């Protein structure tokens, strides 16, 4: 499928989809504490999405059974919420959420600390978040797509962390996943040239140990192969004539 360039009208709808998803994340963040279940987060996130008049785009996507992906500790992404999975002090929890607003998709992820966490785990969270910002410094019209990938790798690799390779970022618009694929690690090729109006989900997934991952028997949950903790940070962005616009974050 070709990479889509959104019209001014479509960009307005993408902006609104992004703005509403930020509200969902802010709401879910407030509930994170020891003692809640991963299902509690999914149910609340699903409710906030629907109360905003939107539809959760992950639910039933290729059969995924929930609205929010909730991934704890060594779970990288696509954790399935469970009533009996209770968060405890010192855990980290990655929340990946997306919604559809008037036919347009947004997608964003955050990793949160549950209570007090170890300083080395906090550093993984900080580096993962910063790697997104390092990457999107290159998300400018005229640059090549893989400038973003290389910038993320350049920033993360000196910390000794493992950059997940089996899952990547993606274009987004009237579908959750559009071309192009956006790796978070060094590429030999340059990739496509970025053009204003492209909307992209940039989403580094970083493991404290090996970059290798495996899938659990539920066929969804991705974990680090060495069971080291893993963080995820994602926003939907818009390529403009100047700096990229982050549609799912307005700090």
Specify the stretch interacting with ligand MF3 by CB under 6 A; choose among 46-54, 60-68, 87-95, 140-148: 60-68
107 binds Co ion (CB under 5 A): yes
Query: Dihedral, CA atoms, 152, 167, 235, 5, nearest 10 degrees?
Result: 100
Based on the shown chain and the rule CB under 6 A, indicate whether residue 69 belongs to the binding site for ligand MF3: yes
Q: Is 96 in the site for ligand MF3 (CB under 6 A)?
A: yes
CB distance 217 to 94 below 8 Å: no
Alpha helix segments (H runs only) across 137-215: 145-156
Residue whose C-alpha is closest to residue 55's, from 169, 171, 174, 168: 174
Tell me whether residue 82 or residue 123 sits nearer to ligand MF3 (CB atom): 82
Extract the tokens encoding 7: 């019209």
When binding is defined by CB under 6 A, the residue of 25, 78, 85, 105 that contacts ligand MF3 is: 78
From residue 156, give the alpha-carbon distance in Å to each of 24, 66, 79: 28, 31, 24
Q: Residue 64, interface with ligand MF3 (CB under 6 A)?
A: yes
Closer CB to Co ion, 100 or 201, in the complex: 201
Q: Which stretch binds ligand MF3 (CB under 6 A): 57-65, 122-130, 134-142, 240-248?
A: 57-65
Residues with Cβ within 8 Å of residue 100, at least 6 apart in sequence: 17, 54, 55, 56, 57
CB 236 to Co ion: min, Å: 8
Output 89 or 215, the one with its CB closest to ligand MF3: 215
Answer yes or no whether residue 75 interacts with ligand MF3 by CB under 6 A. Answer: no
User: Would you say 185 and 136 are in contact if contact means Cβ atoms under 8 Å apart?
Assistant: no
The CA angle 61-105-214, to the nearest 5 degrees, is 40
Q: Please state, in angstroms and rounded to a whole number, the distance separating the CA atoms of residues 6 and 212.
A: 35
Q: Which of 80, 92, 201, 237 binds Co ion (CB under 5 A)?
A: 201
Indicate which single residue of 26, 31, 61, 216 sits in contact with ligand MF3 (rule: CB under 6 A).
Answer: 61
- Interface with Co ion (CB under 5 A): 107, 201, 203
- Interface with ligand MF3 (CB under 6 A): 58, 61-62, 64, 69, 78, 96, 98, 107, 170, 201
């Amino acid at each position: 499928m070709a990479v889509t360039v959104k019209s001014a009208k479509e960009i307005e709808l993408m902006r609104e989809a992004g703005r509403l998803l930020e509200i969902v994340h802010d709401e879910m963040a407030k509930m994170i504490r020891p003692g809640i279940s991963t299902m509690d987060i999914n149910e609340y996130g699903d409710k906030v999405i629907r109360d905003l008049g939107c539809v959760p785009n992950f639910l039933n996507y290729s059969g995924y059974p929930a609205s929010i992906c909730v991934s704890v500790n060594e779970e990288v992404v696509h954790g399935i919420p469970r009533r009996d999975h209770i968060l405890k002090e010192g855990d980290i929890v990655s929340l990946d959420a997306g919604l559809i607003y008037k036919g347009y998709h947004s997608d964003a992820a955050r990793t949160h600390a549950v209570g007090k966490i170890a300083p080395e785990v906090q550093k993984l969270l900080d580096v993962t978040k910063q790697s997104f910002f390092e990457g999107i410094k290159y998300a400018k019209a005229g640059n090549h797509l893989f400038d973003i990938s290389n910038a993320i790798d350049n920033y993360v690799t000196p910390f000794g962390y493992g950059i997940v390779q089996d899952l990547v970022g993606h274009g987004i618009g009237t579908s959750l996943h559009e071309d192009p694929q956006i790796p978070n690690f060094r590429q030999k090729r340059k990739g496509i040239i970025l053009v204003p109006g492209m909307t992209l989900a940039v989403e580094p997934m970083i493991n404290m140990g090996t970059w290798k991952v495996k899938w659990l028997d539920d066929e969804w949950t991705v974990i680090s192969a060495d069971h080291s903790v893993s963080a995820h940070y994602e926003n939907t962005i818009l390529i403009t004539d100047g700096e990229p616009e982050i549609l799912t974050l307005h700090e």
